[in-house]
Amino acid sequence: MEPTKIIQSGVVLFLSIVLTPLTSFSYTVLWDTSHGVYVSPEAGGNGFQPSGYYQPLTQHLVNNGFTVDTTSDGFLVDDPGEYDVIVVCLASAYDSVYTSAEVERIVNFVDDGGGLLLMGDHQLNPNANIQPVASQFGIGLGLSTLTPYDIYTSDLASHFIFDAVNEIFMYAAGELSASGPASAAAWQEETPYKPIVAVAQYGQGRVVALSDCSLWTASEYWDYFSMADNPEFSLNTFNYLAVPEPVTLLLFALGAVMLRKN
C-alpha cells in the first residue's frame, strides 16, 4: 500500500473512533433538574428526570457508551464544561426561569464545543422558563399546541439525527420556530405542517431543540420511548451533540481530499 494511503486509512480509523461512542470511549451528559422536576399527578414516581420517566432513555444511552449525571444545583455550581452534552428540559425546569447568568454559562459552553439538548412542550406549559436559553440560538418554544395529540411523522430533514430513522412519535407537542442560526428539521405531517424539531450550529457546538418533553419517556401508564423509531432518534441526537463540530469538518475535508486523489 502506498504511504499516502496508509496515512489516510489511519486518519479515517482515528476519526471513526472519535465520532463513534464505544464502551471504552464514554461521552458524558449533564441533565439539569435545579429548576424543579414536574411529576405527573396520575403517574407519580420520580417525574421527568433521568431517574424517573426518562429512565428508558437513560438506560439506552448507558448501553451505548454514555454516562448520564444530573445536577440539582445548576450549571453555575456544577460546571458543564466537564461534560460533552447538557440537557435543558422544560419538564425538569418546571418551577422557575433560567437566569441571565445561567444563560451566559450555557451559551459559552456551546460556543466552546459543547452539545445542548433543549426540550420544550405545548403552549399550556411554562416554556418561558427555558425560553431565555432557546432564544440565544434562534429558537422559539411553545408557540401553539398541536393536534391531534398523537403525532407520528416521517417529514424529516436529511440530517444525521435522522439516520436510519423513518418515523418519530411525539405526544401533545407544541409548535416551535427556528431562525438563524437554527433551522427546522422535522414537521408535523398534518396541516399546517408546523415544525417540531430544530437544529443549530453555534460556534464550535451544536444544539437540538424538541417541541415535546414526553417522546423519550415511559411509566407504568405509557411508553412513548418505544414508539416508532424514537430509540434510534434519541441515540442519534446525543451522538450528534457529543461530537465537536471541528472533528466533523475535518472528516468532511479528509473525504474531499481522498476523493480528489482517487
For the stretch 178-237, pLDDT in tens is 999 999 999 999 878 999 999 999 999 999 999 999 999 999 999 999 999 999 999 999
For residue 88, the Cα-to-chain-centroid distance in whole angstroms is 9
Residue 166 C-alpha cell reads as 423513518
Task: Tell me whether residue 94 is in a domain.
Answer: yes
Grade residue 248 by pLDDT with cuts at 50, 70 and 90. Answer: low
Largest Cα span, the chain: 66
Among the listed residues 239, 242, 148, the one whose alpha carbon sits nearest the alpha carbon of residue 190: 148
Q: Of all residues in the chain, what percent carry a pLDDT higher than 90?
A: 82
pLDDT tens digits for range 109-128 = 999 999 999 999 999 999 99
Asked if 112 and 204 touch (Cβ cutoff 8 Å), the reply is yes
Task: Tell me whether residue 70 is in a domain.
Answer: yes
Task: Tell me whether residue 221 is in a domain.
Answer: yes
Segment 241-257 shows an average pLDDT of 61
Preceding amide of 148 cis, omega within 30: yes
6, pLDDT greater than 80: no
* pLDDT for the residue numbered 247: 52
Task: Tell me whether residue 262 is in a domain.
Answer: no
Q: What is the CATH number of the domain that holds 207?
A: 3.40.50.880
Task: Tell me whether residue 9 is in a domain.
Answer: no
Task: Tell me whether residue 71 is in a domain.
Answer: yes
Which range of residues forms the domain containing residue 217? 28-247
Number of domains in the chain: 1
Asked if 121 and 172 touch (Cβ cutoff 8 Å), the reply is yes
* pLDDT for the residue numbered 17: 47
Of 18-32, 66-80, 91-105, 151-165, the least confident: 18-32
* pLDDT for the residue numbered 259: 47
Task: Tell me whether residue 255 is in a domain.
Answer: no
Task: Tell me whether residue 178 is in a domain.
Answer: yes
What contacts 252, CB < 8 A, 6 or more positions away?
none
* pLDDT for the residue numbered 250: 54
255, pLDDT greater than 70: no
Is residue 57 classed as helix, strand or coil in its secondary structure?
Answer: helix
pLDDT tens digits for range 136-155 = 999 999 999 999 999 999 99
